[in-house]
Structure 1
Amino acid sequence: MFIILYNRSLRTIANILTLNSTVAILILSSDTLAIGIYVLYRDIKRRELQMEIEMKSLFLCHVRGYIAHMSFGALVYSYAIQACYRLVGTIFYHRVSYNHLRIYVYAICIQWSFSILQLLPIILGNNQIYIKHEYLCQIAIENSKAVGYICFTNYIIPLTIIMIIYYKITRSVRKKENNGAYKYNIHRVRRQVVLIQRIVILILVLLVLGGPYSIFIILEALSIKRAPSYSHRIGFMFISIACASSVITIIYFTRSVRKMIIEFLSIKKKSLQRNELQQLNSIQNMKLTPKRMPMSTTDDT
Structure 2
Amino acid sequence: MICCVSAVILALIFLFIIIFDKVYRKVGMILVVNSCLAEFIFGIYLLAVTLFTFHNDLKQIYFYDSFCLITAYIGYMSIGLQNYSYLLQAIYRYILIVNPLGLFYQSVKFQVFLISFTWICCIIYPIPLVFTGQIKYLVDDQLCQIPPGFSFVTIFNAFYIYLFPMISIVLIYLKMVRYVREMSKHVTPVNRLFHAQRELKMIRRIISLVSILIALGLPYQTLIIVSFFKSAPKYHFRIVFIFINASLVFVLIAILEITEPLKTSLMRRINGRATNVVRTVA
TM-score by length of 1: 0.82
Bigger drift between 168-177 and 139-148 goes to: 139-148
Q: Counterpart of 2:281?
A: 276
Q: Which has the higher contact order (CA 8 A, sep 6+)?
A: 2
Q: Output one character per residue of 1:75-110: Cα deviation in whole Å (capped at 9) or x when no partner.
A: 101011001001011111122222110001111111
- Unaligned ranges ≥5, structure 1: 278-301
1:250 equivalent in structure 2: 255
Q: What residue identity is the alignment partner of 2:240?
A: G
Report how far residue 123 of structure 1 moved: 1.6
Letter of the 2:25 partner, please give it. R
Q: What is the CA-CA distance between 1:178 and the residue it aligns to?
A: 2.2
Mean alpha-carbon deviation: is it higher for 239-248 or for 199-208?
A: 199-208
Aligned pair 1:41/2:55, yes or no? yes
Question: Which has the larger displacement, 200-209 or 257-266?
Answer: 200-209
Q: Which residue of 2 aligns with 1:168?
A: 175
Partners of 2:68 and 2:18 in 1: CA distance: 33
Look up the match of 1:74.
Answer: 81
Aligned residues: 268
Residues 1:65 and 1:206: Cα distance change in structure 2 (over 3 Å): same
Answering whether residue 206 of structure 2 is matched by residue 199 of structure 1, we say yes
- Quick one: distance in 2 between partners of 1:247 and 1:96? 30
Match of 2:31 in 1: 17
Give the AA of the match of 2:85.
S
Partner of 1:150: 157
Is the CA contact 2:173–2:203 (under 8 Å) kept in the aligned structure 1? yes
Q: Which residue is 1:285 aligned to?
A: none
* 5+ residue gaps, structure 2: 1-14
Deviations 1:185-230 (A, max 9, x none): 7743641441342232133133135322211111221x1x532212
Quick check: 2:81–2:119 contact (8 Å CA) kept in 1? yes
The residue that corresponds to 1:127 in the other structure is 134
2:238 partner amino acid: R
* Percent identity (aligned): 28
Q: 1:14 to 1:192 in 2, by over 3 A?
A: closer
**What TM-score do you get using the length of structure 2 for normalisation?**
0.87
Distance change in 2, residues 1:4/1:227 (3 Å): same
DSSP-derived class of the 1:130 partner: strand
Contact persistence 1:220–1:226 (CA under 8 A): yes
Structure number with greater Rg is 1
Compared CA separation, residues 70 and 99, structure 1 to 2 (3 A): same
In 1, Cα distance between equivalents of 2:22 and 2:277 = 28
What is the aligned-residue RMSD (CA, Å)?
2.1
Name the aligned partner's letter for residue 140 of structure 1.
P
